[in-house]
Amino acid sequence: MAKNLLIFLLFVVFTGKAQPNARPVIISPEVHADNTVTFRFYAPAAKEVKLNAQFEKTPLPMNKDERGIWSITTSAVKPDMYPYAFNVDGIQTADPNNSAIFPNEGFQNSLVEITGNSPLVHTVQHVPHGTISYRYYQSAELGTRPVVIYTPPGYEANAKVSYPVLYLLHGTTDTEETWTKVGRANIILDNLIAQGKAKPMIIVMPYGRAYPVISKSSGSLRNWDNLQEFKKDFFNNLLPFVEQNYRTIKDKNSRAIAGFSGGGGTTLYFGLNNTDKFGYVCGFAPGMLKNEFDRNNEVAFKNPELVNKNLKLFWIGVGKDDGLYGVNQEFMQVLDQKKIKYESLISDGGHTWMNCKLYLSTIAQKLFK
């Protein structure tokens, strides 16, 4: 199938014309100058195709033309980058004509960017760009592990300069690629550094768990064990790998940790209990359960003054419509009771990567200053 398709497309490309009755050429998504977007999907035999886009609260019905192409043109969309998928007779599928994919182990979404009149903080602009490196490090227990590392513009040329490091963790079923491909972490930093709003920093984005959540090795979900294994890997393997292979400033005030959702829960667990290692701890809609507050914050809750003394910033961001808003409110009440200092940003919106980009661009301007 892929082979035949490739040969057909090769034919089209080399001859400039399609064979009669061949699969039509599809452009999707097509973002228009007025911020409306046309989505298209070829499915002549489908009965119902809907667009599931995160700029809409409900799926939008699409209409089929005589060639079998389903399409919809939206109303004007608020500029941002959004995940979306097609629902084809009940089956969720990504957009086959869009190579911008949401890296995830549990679902497939495509990505569409609506830029609007002026570039957004995550829009690729003509500014100096950092480098994203895909690296492997070694764990005796877990084998060869992937990590994505951002080095800021000038890192290669300024061979004598050392940099602070932000460890940035993804959400529950995401991968080490999600923070760059969906969160645009590298582009956000490129832009903020170019504007003088953020310090040049290294960002380390590991595969944020020991095993896949839907574990192919154990066949079961074991969150606490998984977290303990990842903690060992993080402190014994990842952190030394980064400090040995990159020009890092090796003190707690030049180390930050942040993360989204499940990775936000991991961030607070690693960060608040290890304030000798991190000067900055930032949770983006951090995943947590009330009955685990004491267990997960054992060291921090024993000595709140040490937390306040060691941390230059403890920050929590969460959206008003986020399913985790309530438990985060409860957590902040506990922090107040314990007299643990923190800053918070209560944003609009829900448990989304649109909010992740907002949170990262907010805290990036507060780090290492």
Minimum distance between the CB of residue 252 and a second copy, rounded to whole angstroms? 25
**Are the C-beta atoms of 181 and 353 separated by less than 8 Å?**
no
Nearer to a second copy, 88 or 203 (CB): 88
Nearer to a second copy, 135 or 232 (CB): 135
Nearer to a second copy, 144 or 369 (CB): 144
Minimum distance between the CB of residue 359 and a second copy, rounded to whole angstroms? 16
Minimum distance between the CB of residue 279 and a second copy, rounded to whole angstroms? 27
**Are the C-beta atoms of 310 and 279 separated by less than 8 Å?**
yes
Minimum distance between the CB of residue 74 and a second copy, rounded to whole angstroms? 16
Q: For residue 357, give the 3-state DSSP assignment.
A: helix
- CA triplet 313, 176, 162: central angle to 5 degrees? 50
Nearer to a second copy, 273 or 352 (CB): 352
Question: Which distant-in-sequence residues (6+ apart) come within 8 Å of 344 by Cβ?
Answer: 315, 316, 317, 318, 332
Minimum distance between the CB of residue 65 and a second copy, rounded to whole angstroms? 17
**Are the C-beta atoms of 51 and 86 separated by less than 8 Å?**
yes
What span, in angstroms and rounded, lies between the C-alpha atoms of 86 and 358? 26
Nearer to a second copy, 108 or 303 (CB): 108
Secondary element (H or E) of residue 334: helix 325-338
Nearer to a second copy, 87 or 344 (CB): 87
Distances in whole angstroms, Cα of residue 356 to Cα of each of 48, 70, 155, 197, 258:
32, 31, 25, 18, 11
Minimum distance between the CB of residue 105 and a second copy, rounded to whole angstroms? 5
Nearer to a second copy, 92 or 195 (CB): 92
Strand partners of residue 148 = 134, 205
Residue 147 CA to chain centroid, in angstroms?
14
Q: Closest Cα to residue 39, out of 102, 98, 80, 90?
A: 98
Q: How is residue 283 written in tokens?
A: 């949770």
Minimum distance between the CB of residue 104 and a second copy, rounded to whole angstroms? 6
